[in-house]
Amino acid sequence: MCRFSLIVCTVTRTAELEAFLGSLAAQKQPPAFEVIVVDQNPDDRLAPLLDRCRGRFPVRRLRSEIGLSRARNVGLAAASGDIVAIPDDDCTYPPDLLHRLAAYFDANPGCDGVSTLVTDRDGSFSAGGYMAGSPLAIDRGNIWRTAVSPSIFVRRSVVGEVRFDETLGVGSGTVYGSGEESDFLLQLLEHHRRLDYRPEFVVHHPCFHGPWRAERGRLYGNGMGRVLRKHRYPAWRAMFYASLQFVRAVQFLLKLNPSRSRFHLAMALGRLHGYFHVRH
């Protein structure tokens, strides 16, 4: 049975990371796995927690410069498992997840990666409510509703072909504050790799409930627009995805929720800016 490398990049969160590690300790019939914690905290706050976990499963702690994509690249370089995952530090795994995923990979040797459904613990969609409800072969058209960071599990044998774009994502130091995981998978698709979306597998991640800051929406929108441009999507795609956020902005304005409306308006404008603003 295949072995997993779980790369968790973290900063500021301790209780959430403890909950994730606890969900790993609770795995039933688990395959072998290692946890690689890429710690971007300026102190040693995680040391006691990681010391407690080392008696239950292998844990390595690495350091990196600030930036989610930078941290993930550090983790990828250190991974030794057959399957690599990039769980968020505030997600959790159901008790049978790793066992079932290992069985799926073993039964499907032609599959290079799997993306799961993501919900909160109550079953509500965590990833914006847009993930597909039935299995799909992931492609350029459906990738935006079939994959988010904690849902991704990829064979390490193909990971060497790609890297996370360090100009994308939280902490990148650019205006492109999202999209790094979509870019990562699009690179794999361009290498003709098979990626399966399988919603019978579920990762739990809390729904975002605010604060709905317009700046956050702008950075997220910029990132998606940048990825659309980088991978040569037609302009109408960027305009279509922007229009979805314009509609949501109007909906929340009519509901007398101006902060949420501004968030979606900023995301819409960001998607257009990220696509049409050509970097030199």
Residue 68: inside a domain, yes or no?
yes
Averaged over 232-239, what is the pLDDT? Answer: 98
Q: What pLDDT was estimated at residue 50? A: 95
- Taking alpha carbons only, the member of 250, 150, 155 closest to residue 203 is 150
- pLDDT beyond 60 at 280: no
What are the backbone dihedrals phi and psi of residue 180, each rounded to the nearest 5 degrees, phi first? -65, -35
pLDDT digits (tens, 9 = 90+) for 44-76: 999 999 999 988 999 999 999 999 999 999 999
Which letter does DSSP use for residue 70 in this model? H
Q: How confident is the model at residue 127 (pLDDT cuts 50, 70, 90)?
A: low
In this structure, the answer to whether residues 27 and 125 fall within a common structural domain is yes
* Domain region containing 159: 4-204
Percent of the chain whose predicted confidence (pLDDT) is above 90: 89
Model pLDDT, residue 249: 98
Look at residue 46 and tell me if it is in a domain. Answer: yes
**Each residue's pLDDT tens digit, 174-191:** 999 999 999 999 999 999
Does 172 score more than 60 pLDDT?
Answer: yes
**Residue 141: inside a domain:** yes
- Among the listed residues 142, 235, 130, the one whose alpha carbon sits nearest the alpha carbon of residue 195: 142
| CATH code of the domain containing 93 | 3.90.550.10
Residue that finishes a domain, picked among 204, 229, 251? 204
In a domain? residue 209:
no
Q: Identify whether residues 138 and 17 lie together within a single domain.
A: yes
Which tens digit of pLDDT belongs to each residue from 89-123? 999 999 999 999 999 999 999 999 999 999 998 87
Q: Please check whether residues 177 and 65 belong to one and the same domain.
A: yes
Q: Are the beta carbons of 70 and 166 closer than 8 angstroms?
A: yes
3-class secondary-structure state, position 210: coil
Distance of CA 271 to the CA centre of its chain: 19
18-47: b (≥16 Cβ within 10 Å) or e: bebbebbeebeebbebbbbbbbbeeeeebe
Are residues 85 and 144 located together in one domain of the fold? yes
Structural domain count, the chain: 2
Q: Return the residue matching tokens 């072995």.
A: 3
Higher pLDDT among residues 208 and 220, named by residue = 220
Residue bearing the bigger pLDDT, 38 or 131: 38
- The amino acid sitting at 279 is R
Query: Same domain, yes or no, for 188 and 225?
Result: no
Q: Could you read off the pLDDT of 144-170 as tens digits, one per residue? A: 999 999 999 999 999 988 999 999 999
Q: What is residue 86's predicted lDDT score, i.e. its pLDDT?
A: 98
* Mean pLDDT across the chain: 95
**106, 125, 107: which is closest to 2 by C-alpha?**
106
Measure the CA–CA gap between 268 and 100, rounded to whole angstroms.
38
Nearest CA-CA partner of 178 in 163, 191, 165, 188: 165
DSSP letter at 125 equals B
Do residue 128 and residue 223 come from a single domain?
no
Pair (125, 240) in one structural domain: no
